[in-house]
């Protein structure tokens, strides 16, 4: 006896659903991995912020004490200018990295939307086929 066409359709739908689930799980895995990297970058940024705050505290102490040594103040100010440039460069690199992470999240969102659209289209097509088959059987 031949296999029922609805059973074949159901098997194909099950296979497609498993395929979509697999892809969704893979995307979720990548998203979680990106989230982990983002959290790691945030941790590094917070640690560096703590170091910057420490540097700022030391600078404030030195500013109070160095009235006697104006030449040293001048050297410290030049050193702080270089530090600020490094901090600015670091902040720029961090901004670029965060922008990259944002772009990756946007890409993941776009892929998820495409998967959802494909699933809806596929299910609508299958519904139409099933309806046609059911009408043909009842006639």
Radius of gyration of the chain (CA): 30
For residue 1, pLDDT over 60 is answered with no
The pLDDT assigned to 14 comes to 86
Classify residue 124: in a domain, yes or no. Answer: yes
Q: How confident is the model at residue 133 (pLDDT cuts 50, 70, 90)?
A: confident
Domain ranges, residue 86: 32-138
Q: Are 108 and 31 in contact (CB under 8 A)?
A: yes
The DSSP code sequence of 73-91 is HHHHHHHHHHHHHHHHHHH
- Total domains in the chain come to 1
Average pLDDT over residues 96-103: 89
Classify residue 12: in a domain, yes or no. Answer: no
Classify residue 41: in a domain, yes or no. Answer: yes
Classify residue 62: in a domain, yes or no. Answer: yes
Question: Which two three-digit tokens encode residue 80?
Answer: 């702080």
Average pLDDT over residues 29-43: 91
> What's phi and psi for 10, nearest 5 deg?
-65, -40
Question: Which two three-digit tokens encode residue 113?
Answer: 């939307």
Classify residue 107: in a domain, yes or no. Answer: yes
Q: Is the pTM of this model over 0.75?
A: no
Per-chain mean pLDDT for the chain: 87
């Amino acid at each position: 006896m031949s296999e029922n066409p609805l059973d074949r359709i159901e098997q194909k739908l099950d296979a497609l659903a498993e395929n979509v689930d697999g892809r969704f799980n893979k995307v979720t895995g990548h998203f979680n991995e990106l989230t982990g990297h983002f959290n790691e970058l945030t941790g590094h940024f917070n640690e560096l912020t703590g170091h910057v705050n420490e540097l700022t505290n030391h600078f404030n102490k030195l500013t109070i004490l160095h009235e006697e040594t104006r030449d040293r103040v001048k050297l410290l100010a030049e050193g702080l200018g270089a530090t600020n440039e490094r901090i600015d460069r670091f902040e720029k690199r961090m901004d670029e990295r965060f922008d990259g992470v944002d772009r990756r999240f946007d890409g993941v969102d776009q892929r998820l939307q495409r998967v959802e659209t494909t699933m809806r289209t596929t299910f609508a097509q299958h519904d139409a086929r099933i309806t046609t088959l059911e009408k043909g059987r009842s006639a």
